[in-house]
Amino acid sequence: MSKTYTIAVIPGDGIGKEVTPWAQAALEKAAEGEAAFTYEHFDLGAERYLRDGAILPEEEEERIKATDAILLGAVGDPRIKAGILERGLLLKLRFDLDQYVNLRPSKLYKGVTSPLANPGDIDFVVVREGTEGLYCGAGGAVRRDTPAEVATEVSINTAYGVERVVRYAFQLAMKRRKHITLVHKKNVLVNAGDMWQRIVDRVGKEYPEVTHDYSHIDAATIYLVSDPSRFDVILTDNLFGDILTDEAGAVVGGVGYSASGCINASNEYPSMFEPIHGSAPDIAGKGIANPTAAILSAAMLLRHLGFDEAAAKIDAAVEADIEELGSTQRSTEQVGKDILARI
């Protein structure tokens, strides 16, 4: 008998609704005979907010907390003021569910054109801290809308929060090419940067096989386009990781092939998996959104639950699909079917 997992599904807005069913279908097919899934659907996102003002009602959040993992499509709508859904839904889930590892792999697939002239082999993963830094919401504003207005955003870095994500990065590096690049700005952010570096140095001693080096964030943005194959695991804080992973998505041919995981690595709460792309209102409803990134997020979910082989099946199917058919114009349904047939 295979174990049954409960998955919270938050399709969200726009193309999120169109691609998420394919992530579920891939999950089912890849784990057939190994795991079974039941789904709890949550109507959250811009459309819900515009309809009844709800962002993340407590009762719904409690039900999400009780699941084994979360599949998220995309949230966002240009009609809603910036910050409302980001802080009230996405970041609230990341913080309340203590998803301290934001895991973002970047791989240049054969058959995808990189904007770089000589991309080389690109296959790295960004381990972005997910619950601290400038995202904490520490700060405030006084004398708003006056010429003397003051606005502060404070970056919070705790030794506890840094050490746990550093440990995750070393463990991940052991399963990969055993190299970590810490990215920060320790020449200017001397308090936080120095703490990150000392913790990496200390934890690194427990992993003598893993080499680690350091790059300032500004230099890292150059290396990402000039020599991306140098990277294996990039370890960085919340905001630097946010910026760097958008650039990473671009160098591997666009965010259409990138998935991410917001991971509570202590497994106290469910982790959340999503394609990196947004709700794309311009193409929503047309049936042409590419479900590949959503399907890859299902593979990350499976790997998180311990189904490495099932996850590898999805990864291989996606890789083969892109190599053979990546440059063809296909509907959402066609790409979904093509990938599923290979799983």
Annotated binding site for Mg(2+): 218, 242, 246
Strands annotated E in 35-188:
35-41, 69-74, 101-107, 123-129, 133-142, 150-156, 179-184
When the beta carbons of 133 and 326 are compared against ligand IPM, the nearer one is 133
Contact call for residues 159 and 219 (beta carbons, < 8 A) = no
Catalytic site residue 242? yes
Choose the one of ligand IPM, Mn ion, none that binds residue 86, judging by a C-beta under 5 to 8 angstroms depending on kind.
ligand IPM
Is residue 246 annotated as part of the catalytic site, yes or no? yes
Question: Which residues are documented as binding site for substrate?
Answer: 94, 104, 128, 218
Of 29, 185, 186, 313, the catalytic one is: 185
Q: Name the DSSP letter for residue 87.
A: I
Q: Using CB under 5 A, which residues numbered 161 to 180 contact Mn ion?
A: none
153 lines the binding site for ligand IPM (CB under 6 A): no
Residue 115: Cβ within 10 Å count: 11
**C-alpha distances in Å from residue 96, one per residue of 40, 108, 217:** 19, 33, 28
Nearest-approach distance from CB 242 to ligand IPM, in angstroms: 4
Q: If DSSP codes are grouped into helix, strand and coil, which group holds residue 12?
A: strand
**Catalytic-residue membership of 3:** no
User: What is the sign, positive or negative, of the torsion defined by CA atoms of 266, 267, 268, 269?
Assistant: positive
Nearest to Mn ion of 278, 281 (CB atom): 278
Tell me if 132 contacts Mn ion by CB under 5 A: no
* CA distance linking residue 101 with residue 121, whole number of Å: 25
Q: How many residues bind ligand IPM (CB under 6 A)?
A: 4
The residue from 201, 213, 218, 227 that is catalytic is 218
- Residue closer to ligand IPM by CB (options 204, 270) is 270
Q: Which is nearer to ligand IPM, 245 or 326 (CB)?
A: 245
Taking the least distance from each CB to ligand IPM, the nearer of 214 and 264 is 264
Edge-first strand order for the sheet with 271-275 is: 35-41, 3-12, 69-74, 271-275, 259-263, 101-107, 123-129, 233-236, 179-184, 211-216
Site map (CB under 6 A) of ligand IPM, residues 82-111, x = contact = ----x---xx--------------------
- Which string of b and e fits 17-56 if b means at least 16 CB within 10 Å? bbbbbbbbbbbbbbbeeebebeeeebebbbbbbeeeeebb
Of 5, 49, 100, 135, the active-site residue reads 135
Min separation Cβ 175 and ligand IPM, Å: 24
Please state the residue numbers annotated as binding site for NAD(+): 278-290
Residues in contact with ligand IPM, shown as a per-residue x/- string from 44 to 83 under the rule CB under 6 A:
----------------------------------------
Residue pair 243/249 in contact by the 8 Å Cβ criterion? no
**In the annotation, is 218 catalytic?**
yes
Q: Based on the number of CB atoms within 10 Å of its own CB, is 245 exposed (0-12), middle (13-18) or buried (19 or more)? A: buried
Which of 242, 315, 321, 338 is the catalytic position?
242
Please identify every residue annotated as catalytic.
135, 185, 218, 242, 246
Q: List residues near Mn ion by CB under 5 A.
A: 242
Binding site for ligand IPM (CB under 6 A): 86, 90-91, 242
